[in-house]
Amino acid sequence: MNRSYPTTRLRRIRMSKFSRNLTSENFINHNDLIWPAFIINGKNQKQEVKKMPLVYRYSIDQLLIEVEHLVNLGLQAIALFPQIEDHKKDEIGSEALNPNNLVCNAVRRLKTSFPDLGIICDVALDPYTNHGHDGVIDNGQVDNDKTISILKKQAVVQAQAGCDIIAPSDMMDGRIIEIRNELEINNFKDTMIMSYSAKYASSYYGPFRDAINSKNLTEPSDKKSYQMNPANSNAALHEVKMDLSEGADMIIIKPGMPYLDIISKCKSKFKIPVFGFQVSGEYSMLMAAAKMKFLNLNDTIIESLICFKRAGADGVFSYFTPLYLEEFKKNT
């Protein structure tokens, strides 16, 4: 069959909206989005994060009000990130194991009010350590095995509070199997693990560390000895393979947009649920550009999210989730 010009004109189906819609290969809707939300202690608090316009830290009472609004617009799942007061931080992140800590209290209150909402909790110590690392420091290094012995308890404490999905974001080797075993022993056999399998040592996390008031670590004490080297992609496949063999149910690639190639490779190789995390720095870049009127915000939000789907992600963690639900749900 002769498919060359002029019999084939690829522009024909792009001419009208209906044919563009009919031939669209990918879609984004509210079922694809996870809202990363910042929480703080106290009452009646809603503080804007300085480097992330329209992103707030909520006290639990305010969070419940916001979540009710978003659940009515179709919110499926929330990922909680606490800002812990400095006086509760220590060398080993002890507050992470307090069953009445901020995250656990928030989980319990959310589960009571919104039993169908999926709740995801990070497993890592950085919100709780006074040095800002994701684990325990021994001899100047983040100690892998000592850190895991705490992380697996953190996972159980969060599962006890009612968390549906445990999301280890610490990048220690072997943490998935240890966490899985600890969950099984404690009879949380249906608690899911969504592993941040491929988490890169990225500058795009800058605004997040500000949001949770965790130290913005610079050389020589940055996170490069445990988070991945941005130059590598084979290592991501290796990480994912390990995590799956240790019992991860789903995986996360992080950051998002600069690492869509990793999402694509992991999806095509392993055919498992893959999530992208559009991180704080990606959000801040787009918001800053929109503020300068360098970009049209609404159009860019949709394009930035659909890219994840095209790359093969099943869903996306995005700080744009509330804006998306408010602005676009009706149109998509």
Contact positions toward ligand PBG, by CB under 6 A? 122, 124, 126, 134, 169, 205, 208-209, 223, 279-280
Closest distance of CB 310 from ligand PBG, Å: 21
Query: Do the beta carbons of residue 63 and residue 39 sit within 8 Å?
Result: yes
43: tokens are: 């009452």
Q: How far is the CB of 167 from ligand PBG (least distance, A)?
A: 8
Q: Least distance to ligand PBG from the beta carbon of 126, Å? A: 5
Q: Which is nearer to ligand PBG, 11 or 205 (CB)?
A: 205
Provide the minimum distance between the beta carbon of 209 and ligand PBG in the complex, in angstroms, as a whole number.
6
Quick one: 75 or 80, whose CB is closer to ligand PBG? 80
> Which of the following is catalytic: 51, 88, 223, 254?
254
Pick the catalytic residue: 88, 152, 199, 267? 199
Q: Is residue 254 among the annotated active site residues? A: yes
The smaller minimum CB distance to ligand PBG, of residues 187 and 194, is found at 194
Of 285, 303, 298, the residue nearest 327 (C-alpha): 298
Would you say 81 or 188 has its CB closer to ligand PBG? 81
Nearest to ligand PBG of 188, 205 (CB atom): 205
Q: How far is the CB of 304 from ligand PBG (least distance, A)?
A: 14
Q: Would you mind telling me the total number of residues written for the chain in this entry?
A: 332
Q: What six digits make up the tokens of 196?
A: 């941040």
Rounded to whole angstroms, the Cα distance separating 310 from 265 reads 12
**Alpha-carbon gap, residue 123 to 241, rounded angstroms:** 20
The burial class, CB within 10 Å (0-12 / 13-18 / 19+), for 48 is exposed
Three-class SS string for 109-162? HHHHHCCCCEEEEEECCCCCECCCCCCCEECCEECHHHHHHHHHHHHHHHHHHC
Contact, 165 vs 273, CB < 8 A?
no
CB of 122 to ligand PBG, least distance (A): 5
User: How many CB atoms lie under 10 A from the CB of residue 234?
Assistant: 8
Q: Which residue is nearest to ligand PBG (CB)?
A: 208
Give the residue with the Cβ less far from ligand PBG, 147 or 169.
169
Alpha carbon of 99 to those of 94, 95, 96: distances in Å? Answer: 11, 9, 8
Report the SS3 class of residue 46.
Answer: strand
Active site residues: 199, 254
